[in-house]
Amino acid sequence: MSTLLSTRALSKRFGGLTAVHEVDFDLPEGEIRALIGPNGAGKTTFVSMLIGRVAPSAGAVVFDGQDVTGLPAHSRVALGMAYTFQITSVFARLAVAENVALAARRRLGRDRAAVREATARALDRVGLSDRSGALAGDLSYGHQRLLEVAMGLAQRPRLLILDEPTQGLSDSEIAAFKALIRGLAAETTILLIEHNMAVVMELADTVTVLNFGEVLAEGTPAEIHASAAVQAAYLGTGADA
């Protein structure tokens, strides 16, 4: 299995604070990888460097064999990365379908028929076809999260990075989300940053644990669940990763 995304000695300092310290990370193509860690562990900073929103202080990011460390976010999207934000970033005053169409046009340009087809397919995958004409701002928070996933899918990414995708979802919506991710796993590599440990343990092939900006542990969900080091890092934080 080839490596789709990797980092070497990736680091980020903000003044005197080291948020991420020399992280080596390898994500094989076709895997569902979960990235977890206590609050303040450096997860958001690490992912922001992966997608080009934050420039690293040192180290490298390689995507599909290409060093993308110096590329801006939109160039990484063009190469096949898609990212959903921890806080929803939908266009509230546009219709649900138009939000997805905007994302699809990044890949398909002005081919209207292709954009319509990609939009319809993405909305169907996340269960929002019946809300296509609604304003995005009128959706519930949970449905806005699913709309973001649809916007990512419309770009047909090779890597889909989902930041806290189940936040704000009801139990039934989480169940539907898990089924969605299982279906997507055959099409794209998935990096999941997630607090819901039940979701992590059920979906992930491999779990990477960050703590104080460094990789604390990496392994199967069962190995991570049994790790004394991981349990100690979460002591006092319950199951909140």
Q: Each residue's pLDDT tens digit in the chain (241 positions)?
A: 799 999 999 999 999 999 999 999 999 999 999 999 998 899 999 999 999 999 999 999 999 999 999 999 989 988 999 998 655 679 999 999 999 999 999 889 889 999 999 999 999 999 999 999 999 999 988 889 889 999 999 999 999 999 888 888 889 889 989 999 999 998 999 999 998 999 999 999 999 999 999 999 999 999 999 999 998 887 544 444 3
Question: What is the SS3 assignment for 184?
Answer: helix
Token representation of residue 142: 């949970």
In terms of CATH, what superfamily is 30-55+69-80+157-241?
P-loop containing nucleotide triphosphate hydrolases (3.40.50.300)
DSSP string over 107-138? HHTT-HHHHHHHHHHHHHHHT-GGGTTSBGGG
Type of residue found at 15: G
For residue 90, CA distances in Å to 3, 79, 93 come to 31, 22, 9
Domain boundaries, the chain: 30-55+69-80+157-241, 91-156
